[in-house]
């Protein structure tokens, strides 16, 4: 079995994410060449691909035995297999649509798992210079300062994030609209900011009280899951049970009490697993 030194891996991961941030910053306000993937609003740019390539290079150089799951590699046909080996799970730009429009709400999301436990989570918005980090059992941080999920437990006083997703199929659109309609007059406010990882970082740092989504992928939520939990929040399945990272559905919140008030209001969307 491969050795796993969390401090050593974290140091390499943090440096790689900072360097990836420079690539994103350099391209952010320029015109981008945009390609589509599964549909007309599922986008990829040369920057997504360049960041992912750079991160793969860093892993190979430093930890040749570690495994890798990345959004753009999977889009290009690589397998999405999560084993017990140390595995880096990467979204090179989460919030690609925002990036394309120079809307400053995009980030790099990187998690490192060992025996399927998330040991490291890093989410970095280089435009706003927000670096969220967590190591298993060691708390969560924003730019090195500890963060805490809110103490809100009441649905009626909660700020809830409900994403639109990036699909135009009828099933997805109906589920999104039903869920927004079901919640709209029961919460303080609803938001959709276009980056799953930054939504989770908002719950972890107390700015939002809950975020749920059907259709997210493991690379969107792996880092955020650890950061939310280390900040005192919860990440569970949208049916209320333990979270399965590959299930493409997740709800995170400041407390289980709050999540359990939202779950019965949701119309589920069944999707193929990662």
Which residues have a catalytic role annotated?
Answer: 71, 91, 93-94, 96, 220
Which helix or strand (DSSP H or E) is residue 145 part of? Answer: strand 145-146
Q: How far apart are CA 132 and CA 134, in angstroms?
A: 7
Q: Does 94 bind ligand IPD (CB under 6 A)?
A: yes
Interatomic CA distance for residues 66 and 223, integer angstroms: 17
Among 22-30, 94-102, 140-148, 265-273, which window interacts with ligand IPD (CB under 6 A)?
94-102
Instruction: Using CB under 6 A, pick the residue from 72, 163, 230, 274 that binds ligand IPD.
Output: 163
Q: Which is closer to ligand IPD, CB of 47 or CB of 255?
A: 47
* Residue written as token pair 């889009």: 75
- DSSP classification of residue 172: H
Q: Which of 133, 158, 179, 195 is in the footprint of ligand IPD by CB under 6 A?
A: 195
Q: Which of 216, 254, 255, 261 binds ligand IPD (CB under 6 A)?
A: 216
Residue 220 in contact with ligand IPD, rule: CB under 6 A? yes
CB of 154 to ligand IPD, least distance (A): 26
Closest CA to 203 of 235, 232, 228: 228
- x/- mask, ligand IPD, residues 36-75, rule CB under 6 A, reads -----------------------------------x----
**Residue 246 makes contact with ligand IPD by CB under 6 A:** no
Binds ligand IPD (CB under 6 A): choice among 82, 136, 166, 190: 166
Angle CA 241–242–246, to nearest 5: 115
Q: For residues 82 and 136, which CB has a smaller minimum distance to ligand IPD in the complex?
A: 82
Both tokens assigned to 15:
């440096």
**Summary count for the chain: helices (H), strands (E):** 8, 14
Closest to ligand IPD by CB, 37 vs 186, is 37
DSSP string, 220-263: HHHHHHHHHHHTT-EEE-TTSSB--TTSSEEEEES-HHHHHHHG
Q: Order of strands across the sheet with 117-125?
A: 67-70, 87-94, 107-114, 117-125, 130-135, 140-142, 145-146
Shorter beta-carbon distance to ligand IPD: residue 93 or 112: 93
Residue 96 sits in the site that holds ligand IPD (CB under 6 A): yes
* Residue in 273, 268, 205 with CA at minimum distance from that of residue 240: 268
Options 19-27, 91-99, 120-128, 252-260: segment touching ligand IPD (CB under 6 A): 91-99
Q: How many residues bind ligand IPD (CB under 6 A)?
A: 15
Please give the Cα distance from 252 to 235 (Å, whole number): 4
95 lies in the binding site for ligand IPD (CB under 6 A):
yes
The only residue of 72, 91, 209, 274 in contact with ligand IPD, by rule CB under 6 A: 91
Binding residues for ligand IPD (CB under 6 A): 71, 91, 94-96, 163, 165-166, 194-196, 213, 215-216, 220
């Amino acid at each position: 079995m491969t050795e796993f030194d969390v401090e050593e891996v974290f140091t390499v991961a943090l440096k790689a994410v900072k360097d990836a941030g420079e690539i994103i910053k350099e391209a952010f306000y320029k015109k981008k060449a945009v390609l589509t993937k599964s549909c007309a609003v599922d986008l990829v740019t040369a920057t997504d691909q360049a960041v992912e390539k750079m991160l793969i290079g860093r892993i190979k150089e430093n930890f040749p035995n570690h495994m890798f799951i990345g959004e753009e590699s999977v889009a290009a046909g690589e397998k999405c297999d999560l084993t017990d080996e140390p595995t880096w799970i990467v979204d090179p730009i989460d919030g690609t649509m925002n990036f394309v429009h120079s809307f400053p709400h995009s980030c790099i999301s990187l998690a490192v798992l060992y025996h399927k436990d998330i040991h490291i989570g890093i989410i970095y918005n280089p435009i706003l210079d927000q670096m969220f980090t967590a190591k298993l059992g060691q708390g969560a941080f924003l730019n090195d300062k500890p963060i805490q999920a809110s103490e809100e437990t009441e649905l009626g006083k909660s700020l809830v994030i409900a994403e639109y997703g990036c699909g135009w199929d009828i099933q997805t659109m109906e589920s999104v609209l039903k869920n927004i309609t079901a919640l709209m007059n029961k919460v303080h406010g609803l938001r959709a900011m276009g980056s799953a990882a930054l939504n989770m970082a908002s719950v972890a740092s107390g700015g939002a009280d809950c975020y749920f989504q059907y259709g997210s992928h493991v690379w969107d939520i792996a880092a955020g899951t650890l950061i939310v939990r280390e900040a005192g929040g919860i990440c569970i399945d949208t049916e209320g049970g333990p979270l399965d990272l590959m299930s493409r559905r997740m709800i995170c919140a400041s407390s289980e009490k709050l999540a359990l008030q939202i779950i019965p209001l949701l119309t589920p969307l069944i999707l193929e697993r990662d």
